[in-house]
Amino acid sequence: MPSKQQQADSEIHEDQLLNFLVNRLDEEVSLNLANNAETDAKDIYEVLVGATADGTS
């Protein structure tokens, strides 16, 4: 019986795109936050990318 090869999903999913953009921003843009900050740069990038996608500010 021939085996079926699985192919990669050709669609880009929202969470994958968000992760990709946040990771690229984190690599390219340096945010220096205080040591006692309750958030990190990736959290800020997620908000920025999400607002850009939604067309909100």
Q: What is the pLDDT of residues 12-50, one digit of tens each?
A: 788 888 899 999 999 999 999 999 999 999 999 999 998
Q: What's the pLDDT at 24?
A: 96
Q: What's the pLDDT at 22?
A: 93
Model pTM score: 0.68
Helices within 1-57 (DSSP H only):
14-28, 41-54
Instruction: State how far the Cα of 9 lies from the Cα of 16, in Å rounded to an integer.
Output: 12
Q: How many CB atoms lie within 10 A of CB 40?
A: 11
Maximum Cα interatomic distance, the chain, rounded to a whole number of Å: 61
Question: Is pLDDT larger for residue 8 or for residue 30?
Answer: 30
Q: What's the pLDDT at 1?
A: 54
Give the rounded distance of the alpha carbon of 26 from its chain centre.
9
